[in-house]
Amino acid sequence: MIEHPSGDFQQHRRQRHALPLWGLAALAGSIWLVRYAARFGLHLAHPPQWAHYYDQERYIASALAFAHGDLSPALHWYPLGYALVAAPFGWIVPQEPFFLPNLALFVTTVLIFAGVMRRLDIRPTTATILFLLGDMTIGRIAKLWVQPWTTSLSAPLIWALIAQTLATTDRPADQAPPNRASMLKLGLLAGALPLVRPTDGLVAAIAIGFALILLQRQRRLRAAGLGWLVVGGLALCVPYGLLHLAIYGPETSDYARAAARQGFAFADLPWKAYVILVTAAPWFPNSPSLVEAMPWIVPGAAGLSLAWLRGGHRARLALTLIALIAIPYCALFLAYTDLQPPGLWTFSNAHYFKWLFPLLTVGCWLWLRDLTHWRSARRALLALAIMVAPAMIRPVPVAVSDGVPARMLLYRGATDRLWDSAYFAPASITDAKGTMINVVRFHQVPDDKGERAIATWRLFAGPALRDDPDDAPPYRTAQAPYARYAVRLSPGIPCWVRRQAVCRTPPMP
């Protein structure tokens, strides 16, 4: 009699066809090297193209300063964690000290992510391939990983913190409390995140809160465990604090003061989320949103929601923790006034969200798997429709008079200015409530008749005169807008369909 293969035998067959850990690391590293070489070349003896970009130039200056023991405040603009990781390589590859760390960090991110995806019953080989397909096949997305950004370090730290939180809490009630090593590691990871990106302290706080609540409910929380958690956090934070004092003294850094001036506009979150996530049309010309650049993230969100609904304990625990971290994280950065649609891809500001991109690729794969089975196809389509529904409430421009608060003002100006010159111009707008500065309190973008000003901190109130000393005469000083637009909510097909009149740039008076 022929017996059907047992579950253990089928699992063994799947493992035979899976790549070993070193194979996954080699695959991820090879793809990263190919992408880096294609974009920047492998001329490690010379400064790379990105060495002269605004952020990356400061990363290199800080890393090389640490490599040579130079603690001059002028050389350390950004938080110190990322530069400290690259500092030892300032002696090995002085022209590109981030080359080897970024390669290692990318491979580490892929492997940790693949480990977390096991909880969704996705094999590491599959998770790795999906990661590479979603993040490394399109140039502007791959650039977020091969060009140095602080998120290249925070991404593996976030996924490692998620993995460690799940490993610490995924136990039945009344079992033995987490051991010393587990709590110490949890504290180390949580303490490391804000040293790389201060805003990621939010991620650390949510993960630690999640762990403590679950451990308390499981009756596995002990004073000794709390102690080791604190020791882990302080083990990195105390030396970092001493280094901060050695560089800046008791003052905050220039970067911290600049970030505080930029600020967050949470009251603006609904409109901002739409133009960043769904579409910037017709407010920002030629500025693709996240969905327009990565359309698979919509079915990806649908697939993850279905995975939570039908998943077992391990999958639900993982997806719940990720959602508790990802939703406030995204809300925080969507409210950040410096994050605007033109900078999303032009200046690679999409890197804020790159740790989430592979998860949404996995979600899309799960959604497609459901769609190809007739029993689950209707459920997959319903989940997709629910995800698309918010995009059908469109914020579109409507012309208003001077007495009505406006989201956008149109000014006449030189039409031959360089894009960067108009976008970063030291322009100011004075209205009934005071004076606002470009970039910090509003954003100016080039337009076919001059410039448009988009409110990012508060709406423009009453008559609004613009001064732009970098514009050509007679447009430099005390110019009133020739058109004002407020926001009107309009139900309909999302503005991904560019033929719709409501989604085009407003008519020019």
One DSSP character per residue, 144-210 reads HHHS--THHHHHHHHHHHHHHHHHHH-S-TTSPPPPHHHHHHHHHHHHHHHHH-GGGHHHHHHHHHH
d(CA 403, CA 354): 41
Are 171 and 293 spatial neighbours (Cβ–Cβ below 8 Å)?
Answer: no
| Residue 448, pLDDT above cutoff 80 | yes
d(CA 163, CA 119): 10
According to the per-residue pLDDT averaged within each range, which of 14-23, 159-168, 261-270, 421-430 is highest?
159-168
* DSSP three-state, residue 350: helix
Average pLDDT over residues 337-354: 95
**pTM score, whole prediction:** 0.94
Amino acid 19: pLDDT: 82
Amino acid 233: pLDDT: 96
Pair of tokens at residue 99: 């080359």
**229 Cβ contact list (under 8 Å, min separation 6):** 183, 184, 186, 187, 190, 208
C-alpha of 45 from chain center: 31
Q: pLDDT tens digit string along 301-325?
A: 999 999 999 999 999 999 999 999 9
Q: Which amino acid is at 482?
A: Y
Amino acid 331: pLDDT: 97
Minimal CA–CA distance to 400: which of 465, 463, 442, 448?
463
CA angle 264/355/265 to nearest 5° reads 10
| Residue 500, pLDDT above cutoff 50 | yes
* DSSP three-state, residue 479: strand
Question: What are the backbone angles phi and psi of residue 484, rounded to the nearest 5°?
Answer: -130, 140
| Residue 4, pLDDT above cutoff 50 | no
Banded model confidence at residue 195, pLDDT cuts 50, 70, 90 = very high
Amino acid 507: pLDDT: 60
Mean pLDDT of the chain: 92
Amino acid 169: pLDDT: 94
Average pLDDT over residues 190-217: 97
d(CA 21, CA 124): 8
Average pLDDT over residues 379-383: 96
| Residue 1, pLDDT above cutoff 50 | no
Of the chain, the percentage scoring pLDDT greater than 90 comes to 80
Minimal CA–CA distance to 134: which of 340, 303, 286?
303
Q: pLDDT tens digit string along 80-107?
A: 999 999 999 999 999 999 999 999 999 9
The DSSP result for 379-418, as a single string, is HHHHHHHHHHGGGGEEEEEEE--TTS-BSEEEEE--TT--
Amino acid 42: pLDDT: 87
